[in-house]
């Protein structure tokens, strides 16, 4: 285990927007799939200003933005964003680096999957076309196999989950479990004795019949205020939240083989390094080049043996791959 001899620097995060920072308050009509986090990116180039929109609209429900509702987008006075680049001292301050709006899509890698409370049994339940799309998108209606007999009431919100691939450890071959992916969020609008109709509020993946339901839970923001680790721990990248990519980029969610039993907590920080090597100098001396951090990774959620984490920065050429090793550099206070 190498000794960490440097402090993690401030993050420089990139955000792109078709809109510049607002110079005066404006109005926004909510569309399906809108979140406060994304609206803050759209109007301010800074996702961390989502709370300003919430404070300006005290009547909205943070867990559900009603499509068609008009939001006031306030002028914040923080118009210091240039060329879409902004910086945050989140790693060394008590300010939240991650909104809970990002945490609802993390999913999990587990050998003890959560118990479903119900299932999606039909997509596009409001359509009679037998040749209709078998997948659902935001705004579509879903039929669920739970209803009044199970205590389901109109307005109940559920997370829609999908079972993914089995995962084995890239080094030992040990079976680590299955990837469970968060596919979307739905809200019940009609109930019967043993079934319900729900509207798909948000979707992160395509929704299919057979996807299972979990109660919706609201996440608290992750506060990042860590202390440097002198002797940390190694972890392996073992799976990605997305099923298709071969490599992961900034803001992608990954799963690692360390969890709560290893002492990890949300907000802990890992680095992936390009390790130094010995090079002969023209003088004839052999020098060892320093280890270079090429990716920074924050723990989002922990299970006993695994964790979900997000890449918060990485080198444009050194992307994160399954089988990469990372090292703990900061612990949550």
| Nearest partner of 62 among 137, 140, 144, 157, judged by Cα | 157
C-beta separation of 190 from 155 below 8 A: no
Q: How far apart are CA 259 and CA 50, in angstroms?
A: 30
Residue 279 CA to residue 277 CA, distance in Å, equals 6
Query: At the fourth CATH level, which superfamily is domain 108-215?
Result: FlgT, C-terminal domain (2.40.10.410)
- Whether 181 and 161 have beta carbons less than 8 Å apart is answered as yes
Taking CA atoms, 52 is separated from 39, 225, 248, in Å, by 11, 22, 31
State the maximum Cα–Cα separation within the chain, in Å, rounded to a whole number: 84
- pLDDT at site 130: 59
pLDDT value, residue 8: 31
- Count CB atoms within 10 A of the CB of residue 99: 20
Question: For 24, which DSSP code?
Answer: S
pTM reported for the whole predicted model: 0.69
Separation of alpha carbons 303 and 266, rounded Å = 10
Return the structure tokens found at 77.
């006075």
Q: Hey, what's the torsion of the CAs at 119, 120, 121, 127, to 10 degrees?
A: 160
Q: Do domains 108-215 and 220-333 have the same CATH topology?
A: yes
Domain ranges within the chain, ordered by starting residue: 108-215, 220-333
Tokens matching residue 214: 């979990």
Q: What string of DSSP letters covers 148-177?
A: GGGT--TT-EEEEEEEEEEEE-TTT--EEE
Q: Which residues on neighbouring strands pair with residue 160, listed in sequence order? A: 184, 213
pLDDT averaged per 10 residues in sequence order, the chain, 333 residues:
32 36 75 75 78 87 74 72 30 44 84 95 78 76 96 94 94 95 92 95 88 87 68 90 83 93 91 82 82 86 95 77 92 78
Q: How many angstroms separate the first and last alpha carbons of the chain?
A: 22
The pLDDT, as a whole number, for residue 133 is: 61
Contact residues for 216 (Cβ-Cβ < 8 A; gap 6+): 63, 157, 158, 159, 185
Smallest CA-to-CA distance from 81 within 11, 40, 21, 16 is with: 21
Query: Nearest to residue 106, comparing CAs of 186, 215, 219?
Result: 219
220-333 homologous superfamily: Rod shape-determining protein MreC, domain 1 (2.40.10.340)
- CA-based angle 182:54:60, to the nearest 5? 75
């Amino acid at each position: 285990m190498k000794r960490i001899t440097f402090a993690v620097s401030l993050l420089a995060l990139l955000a792109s927007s078709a809109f510049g920072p607002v110079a005066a308050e404006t109005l926004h009509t909510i569309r399906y799939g809108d979140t406060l986090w994304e609206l803050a990116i759209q109007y301010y180039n800074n996702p961390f200003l989502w709370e300003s929109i919430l404070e300006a609209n005290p009547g909205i429900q943070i867990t559900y933005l009603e499509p068609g509702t008009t939001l006031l987008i306030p002028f914040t006075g923080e118009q210091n964003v240039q060329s879409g680049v902004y910086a945050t001292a989140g790693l060394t301050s008590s300010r939240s680096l991650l909104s809970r709006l990002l945490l609802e899509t993390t999913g999990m890698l587990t050998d003890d999957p959560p118990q479903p409370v119900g299932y999606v049994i039909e997509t596009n339940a409001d359509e009679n076309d037998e040749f209709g799309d078998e997948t659902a998108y935001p705004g579509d209606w879903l039929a669920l196999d739970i209803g009044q007999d199970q205590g389901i009431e109109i307005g109940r919100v559920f997370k829609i989950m999908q079972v993914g691939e089995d995962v084995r450890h890239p080094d030992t071959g040990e079976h680590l479990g299955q990837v469970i992916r968060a596919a979307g969020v739905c809200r019940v609008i009609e109930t019967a004795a043993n079934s319900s109709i729900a509207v798909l509020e948000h979707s992160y993946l395509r929704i299919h019949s057979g996807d299972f339901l979990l109660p919706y839970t609201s996440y608290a923001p992750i506060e990042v205020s860590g202390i440097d680790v002198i002797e940390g721990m190694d972890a392996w990248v073992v799976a990605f939240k997305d099923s298709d990519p071969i490599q992961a980029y900034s803001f992608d969610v990954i799963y690692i083989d360390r969890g709560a039993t290893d002492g990890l907590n949300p907000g802990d920080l890992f680095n992936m390094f390009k390790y130094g090597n010995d090079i002969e100098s023209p003088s004839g001396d052999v020098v060892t080049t320093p280890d270079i951090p090429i990716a920074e990774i924050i723990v989002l959620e922990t299970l006993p043996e695994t964790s979900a984490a997000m890449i918060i920065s990485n080198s444009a050429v050194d992307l994160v791959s399954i089988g990469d090793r990372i090292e703990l550099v900061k612990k949550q206070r």
